[in-house]
Amino acid sequence: MENKSQFIVVKQFVIGIACLIMSACTCLNTAQNSNIKLRSTGDLGVIIERATGSVTIVDTGDKSPISELDNLGDLSHASIVFSRDERYAYIFGRDGGLSKIDLLTNSIDKRVIQSGNSIGGAISQDGKLIAVSNYTPGGVKVFDSETLELVADIPASEIVDPKTGLKRRSKVVGLVDAPGQQFVFSLFDSNEIWIADFSAGNAISPKVSKFTEIGRQPYDALISPNGRHYIAGLFGEDGMALIDLWHPEKGVKRILSNYGKGEQKLPIYKMPHLEGWAIAGDFAFVPAVGQHKVLIIDTKNWLKVGEIDVHGQPIFVMARPDGREVWVNFAFPNNDTLQVIDAENKSIRQTLVPGKGVLHMEFTPRGEHVWVSVRDLNRVEIYDTRTLERLSHFQADSPSGIFFTARAHKIGL
């Protein structure tokens, strides 16, 4: 009995010492962690500074820049997609550069030069593949999102260059991700739309479906927010080409084939960006090529049901996240202006003049604010979308594209 009592006393003593040690370790860890500044990714974004080949990482909650990264090459037509966890941004440069940056460490994680001239990219549904569309050489290259190692090369169709008489590959435009681990893109010179299906898990040899004679010179494309419809705008003729990705066996459908017919076209200083289209309710609002108009399309039958006269040649036509309003910016020489369209009554609510070189807009995820790049004033402006008042602004070197991490969870962005 005495030995048992001694054992209990010793056991309680050991437990007491262990508790003291654990408590001390906890206090030490707490003290160490108090010196670590934690940051979430959901409030972050990246702004392209095209003139300097750099980007600014921003905090949308604080409405302020956090840091700047440079040595990212030619960003004159750069775009960005994000990893599923929102930590990494993949930047597609015009010089063929593909850069992976870490938003939490404010550093370049990896960078490769994958072509001579590229025009954007996309990230796969599972977040494991990064696809890049290329002008030179024409085609799509696909990379492992972790390592940026090349896993697939899809060369575009060959055409005879009308200027040189020599064969070359078609330029690729309008690359988007689609449900089912697919990428969809358009071939500008060969008048095609291709679907690359990676769902079988063999990234080296995806299944490629090709749709030919879809219309002359598809210049850009978009995918509906639900991932069902892929629509390519046509530069060589009036109209658009549509594929229902639920039923690709039905082929390509031509829509808006006669819009603008018989009307005098205005000079085109910059092509509209269809990825900035807007859907509000049952209607799509899209920029008209060569006209000072926004077209209204009924998405139930893809027929034009109206148009809105606007300040200039529209470039981006973007819906506020709640679909209540549509915001429009314009090409030179009217690029100092924004117009806000009431989506319900389809009329212009307000005209704003932030300054020369309004290149891009980006809404915060729930739409309470919109960020606007004003290139020629080296400034980013932030507006309240309810009152249309300017809330804040800060300096940036020739800002263009603005991309928030909420894009990580949206199809086609």
Model pLDDT for residues 132-166, shown as the tens digit of each residue: 999 999 999 999 999 999 999 999 999 998 889 89
Distance of CA 315 to the CA centre of its chain: 15
CA pair distance 399, 382, nearest whole angstrom: 13
- 78, exposed or middle or buried, with CB in 10 Å at 0-12, 13-18, 19+? buried
pLDDT of the residue at 28: 40
CA pair distance 400, 316, nearest whole angstrom: 12
* pLDDT at position 25 over 50: no
Give me the half-sphere count of Cα atoms (radius 13 Å) on the Cβ side of residue 411: 16
Task: Return the beta strands (E) in 70-166 as ranges.
Answer: 79-82, 88-92, 97-102, 107-113, 117-123, 129-136, 139-144, 150-155, 158-160
Q: 333: cis peptide before it, omega within 30°?
A: yes
Region 50-78: mean pLDDT is: 94
pLDDT band at 271 (very low <50, low <70, confident <90, very high): low
pLDDT of the residue at 13: 46
Residue 307 is which amino acid? E
pLDDT of the residue at 259: 65
Region 372-398: mean pLDDT is: 97
The architecture (CATH level 2) of 114-270 comes to 7 Propeller (2.130)
CB atoms within 10 A of CB 318: 21
Helices (H) and strands (E) in the chain, counts: 1, 34
Contact (CB, 8 A) for 186 and 200: no
User: Strand 129-136 relative to strand 117-123: parallel, antiparallel, unpaired?
Assistant: antiparallel
pLDDT band at 39 (very low <50, low <70, confident <90, very high): confident
What are the residue boundaries of the structural domains of the chain, listed by start? 114-270
Q: 218: cis peptide before it, omega within 30°?
A: no
Tokens describing residue 351: 């005209």
Coil, strand or helix: which one is 16? helix
Region 287-309: mean pLDDT is: 91
CB atoms within 10 A of CB 69: 21
Which bin fits 146, alpha (ψ -120 to 50), beta or left (φ > 0)?
alpha
Nearest of 271, 216, 221, 217 to residue 242 by alpha carbon? 221
CA pair distance 97, 73, nearest whole angstrom: 7
Q: What is the pTM of this model?
A: 0.88
